[in-house]
Structure 1
Amino acid sequence: MPTTLPPLGEILDLLPDAVCVVDPEGHYLAVSAAFEHIIGYRPDEVMGRRMIELVHPDDRAATALAVQRVMEGRPLPHFRNRYLHRDGHVVDMQWSAKWLPEYGVRLAVGHQVTELRELERKLEYMAGHDPLTGLPNRYRLREELERAIGDSEQALAVLYLDLDGFKAANDRHGHAQGDRLLCEVANRLRQALRHGDFIARVGGDEFVVLLPGCAGHGDARRVADTLQASVAAAEVPPFAGIGASVGVACCPADGRDAEALLRCADADMYVVKHRHRGAAAP
């Protein structure tokens, strides 16, 4: 008995990925059943519409460049962009596309990667942030510092902050209470900074602040005094009277690279800490 193949459309409609056919100007000519499942529009609702209209506005420029590449005969195997679902939510997609000049159409197969992208975002966040305080970590600090140094038209100050007596108090009262204090200090420091300033936790009780546009040591020291006052106001029993020592370094006066600026600010912080200890001595 001869075998009769079902229509190709019925086969395509079984696929979990969206299959789209558009003309050279990007108007939909055909979509598979999965298109509605993923993006929310029935086939009859998109026929004749331009594909770019359904793309997230922030991704349209990159998508247009990708389309140009495909139309030049360069297949696009793994292009990602975001679509706006019919109900308004964002759908992350990964596409493989090819221009078929003999038919005058562009063929694309799209796989939804929203869950994968959410996982990637979480991993990216974890890689760049301190899990306790939520502040950027040393890795993110280095990226931001090098970017700020590269902006030659903008002055920059670096503050290195260390809590006074925290280690001994943490051992005495317990790490759980110490973690509470660190979170409280992080929140107070974040609130005390200007819009555009950057703060990172780089060690147990050490924080680094970047002050883009800070004119010099005098202005930086005034910000440091404000941060010291914010730390002193932190109230997490049984901790009382926790202070902070803050060192200052300015670019380019104290260095023109990340290592030099951090080293200078750290050294200045120890000078300030020694001064605090001397003032506290009977």
Structure 2
Amino acid sequence: METKPYTLPASFIDLLIDAVFAVDVDGRVLFASAACERIFGYTPQEMLGRVMFDMMVPQDRERTRQSVQQVMAGQPQLNFENRYIRKDGQIAYIMWSTRWSPPDQVRIGIARDVTQRKRAESKQAVLYAISEATSTAEDLPTLFQNIHQIIGTLLAVDNFTVALYDQESNKLSFPYHIDTMSETCIPVSALCEEVILNGQPLLLTSENMQDYLTEQQITVHNVPLCWLGVPLKSQNGTIGVLICKSYPGGTHYNEQDQELLQFVSTQIATAIERQQMQTRLQYMAQYDQLTTLPNRALLYDRLNVALLKARRERSHLSLLFLDLDKFKQVNDTLGHHVGDRLLQEVARRLKQCLRESDTVARVGGDEFVILLQPIPLPEHAALVKEKIRDALRPPISIDKHSLSIVPSIGIAHYPDHGDNEEQLLKYADQAMYAEKHGRPPQTLTAELGLTP
């Protein structure tokens, strides 16, 4: 039996689950099938004349332009994926199959909505990415930047903030804040405090934003279209809030977006706590806990770098070795708590005497080392020495005790008094003891085996 050919009516295209588009060389829609309304929220009539790039998530535009160039060069694209902002402001993930029609000078594309699949895939990918970011980030700012980029694979987050809550001080800080409208006056702290207090997400949309602000008696300019805050919870409680904002013309966040952010928030909280712990451990390894000055290990690192630079540039640097005369008597007669506060005040005054490029470190009980680099002439170190004496001359008042501190200070110059860390520190230390006991520093040159 002969099969009769069947001509498919053009209206049958509207029965397809996928949407069919025809766009011109500028990306302007010339034809859209009925399915576009289900996928994009716009009727076919509303789509006509629209530029597809204007509907696209900004982060996907450049990649899509490159794909379009390949299609127009005669290379059909199959299963190309990008994201669009629907009429209701939601993000739709689209998989395209596209080819170019040279006679008609149009691109023909079939769009399939893969939002649900992409969201499921993205959630798992995000968990893995956060875990990897935790292990590779060198510090908290880098971690926050990485988290912003990772969250951006789930949601449109041009405006993103990380707020951290310190339970001991009961204070909020905002170590990471990206906002495209810097003039926004919405009280972020108040909203974060509500999220932290209730331990629940807060989603403000175009439907409830103004009512909320009115209820809270808040008047602001540049009111966001949406504000989404999700608590960062860990075993130690709520440690902060993740915040996403969008302005008119941007993304409309909904409860599904809130669930996505909640899904990853616990792992983000764990990542932040882990990085905070690493930062604290690194700080403890490099800084003196009492005075917050660099310790001996960090001083050696900085001195090593300074010496490498000085050798390369044939420049000078100086070390000042300082200790406090009769400090032991303060501890013995007034107690260690007074001695500790005295050291803290000495550290504060020493820092005020130095430049940003200099380093003052606590290397022992009442011993401090100051690295001056670069220094034009050795004579300048003597000026710093006198500046320090002047800074320590005024009495220090602690618990109604007026304490007068006299320092002994030895100086070593590179390259005159040594070519490495050990030689310079030894010379400065001996020079300090020589001053303390009234010996002329010139005798050190022979004692330490240095050529005058």
When normalised by structure 1's length, the TM-score is: 0.62
In the TM superposition, what is the alpha-carbon distance from 1:43 to its structure 2 partner?
8.2
User: Equivalent residue for 2:161?
Assistant: 88
In the TM superposition, what is the alpha-carbon distance from 1:269 to its structure 2 partner?
0.5
In the TM superposition, what is the alpha-carbon distance from 1:216 to its structure 2 partner?
3.5
Cα distance in 2 for partners of 1:78, 1:201 equals 32
In the TM superposition, what is the alpha-carbon distance from 1:115 to its structure 2 partner?
1.9
User: Equivalent residue for 1:212?
Assistant: 373
**1:233 aligned to 2:402?**
no
CA RMSD of aligned residues (A): 3.4
**1:243 aligned to 2:376?**
no
Cα distance in 2 for partners of 1:200, 1:29 equals 56
In the TM superposition, what is the alpha-carbon distance from 1:169 to its structure 2 partner?
2.3
Sort the Cα spacing of 1:185 and 1:44 in 2 relative to 1 into closer, same or farther, 3 A. Answer: same
**1:263 aligned to 2:336?**
no
User: Equivalent residue for 2:344?
Assistant: 183
In the TM superposition, what is the alpha-carbon distance from 1:120 to its structure 2 partner?
0.8
Deviation string, structure 1 residues 63-100 (Cα, Å, up to 9, x no partner): xxxxxxxxxxxxx9964453336423349xxxxxxxxx
Indicate if the aligned counterparts of 1:190 and 1:199 stay in contact, CA closer than 8 A. Answer: yes
Sort the Cα spacing of 1:121 and 1:274 in 2 relative to 1 into closer, same or farther, 3 A. Answer: same
Cα distance in 2 for partners of 1:46, 1:254 equals 69
Q: Tell me which of the two structures has the higher relative contact order, counting C-alpha pairs closer than 8 angstroms and 6 or more residues apart.
A: 1
In the TM superposition, what is the alpha-carbon distance from 1:233 to its structure 2 partner?
1.9
In the TM superposition, what is the alpha-carbon distance from 1:155 to its structure 2 partner?
1.5
Deviation string, structure 1 residues 186-223 (Cα, Å, up to 9, x no partner): 00000111221110000110100000022343211110
Corresponding letter in the other structure for 1:126: M
Written as runs of structure 1 = structure 2, the 5 A alignment for 1:22-101 is 29=81, 44=91, 79-80=136-137, 82-83=145-146, 84=148, 86-89=159-162, 90=176
Cα distance in 2 for partners of 1:204, 1:255 equals 25
In the TM superposition, what is the alpha-carbon distance from 1:47 to its structure 2 partner?
8.0
Indicate if the aligned counterparts of 2:296 and 2:362 stay in contact, CA closer than 8 A. Answer: yes
User: Equivalent residue for 1:12?
Assistant: none
In the TM superposition, what is the alpha-carbon distance from 1:264 to its structure 2 partner?
0.4
Corresponding letter in the other structure for 2:437: H
User: Equivalent residue for 1:122?
Assistant: 280
Corresponding letter in the other structure for 1:214: I
Q: Secondary structure at the match of 1:87?
A: strand
Sort the Cα spacing of 1:250 and 1:116 in 2 relative to 1 into closer, same or farther, 3 A. Answer: same
**Which stretches in structure 2 are left out of the alignment for 5+ residues?**
1-58, 65-79, 84-88, 96-132, 149-156, 163-175, 178-263, 440-452
* Matched pairs, number: 200
Deviation string, structure 1 residues 206-251 (Cα, Å, up to 9, x no partner): 1000000223432111101111221222412424221101100011
Sort the Cα spacing of 1:77 and 1:234 in 2 relative to 1 into closer, same or farther, 3 A. Answer: closer
User: Equivalent residue for 2:290?
Assistant: 132
User: Equivalent residue for 1:252?
Assistant: 415
Q: How many percent identity over aligned positions?
A: 36
Cα distance in 2 for partners of 1:247, 1:206 equals 11
Corresponding letter in the other structure for 2:307: I
Corresponding letter in the other structure for 1:249: A
Q: Secondary structure at the match of 1:228?
A: helix
Corresponding letter in the other structure for 1:44: I
Indicate if the aligned counterparts of 2:393 and 2:406 stay in contact, CA closer than 8 A. Answer: yes
Deviation string, structure 1 residues 166-201 (Cα, Å, up to 9, x no partner): 112221111111111110000000011122111000
Corresponding letter in the other structure for 1:176: H
Sort the Cα spacing of 1:170 and 1:26 in 2 relative to 1 into closer, same or farther, 3 A. Answer: farther
Written as runs of structure 1 = structure 2, the 5 A alignment for 1:123-202 is 123-152=281-310, 153=313, 154-202=315-363
Indicate if the aligned counterparts of 1:217 and 1:248 stay in contact, CA closer than 8 A. Answer: no
Cα distance in 2 for partners of 1:125, 1:195 equals 19
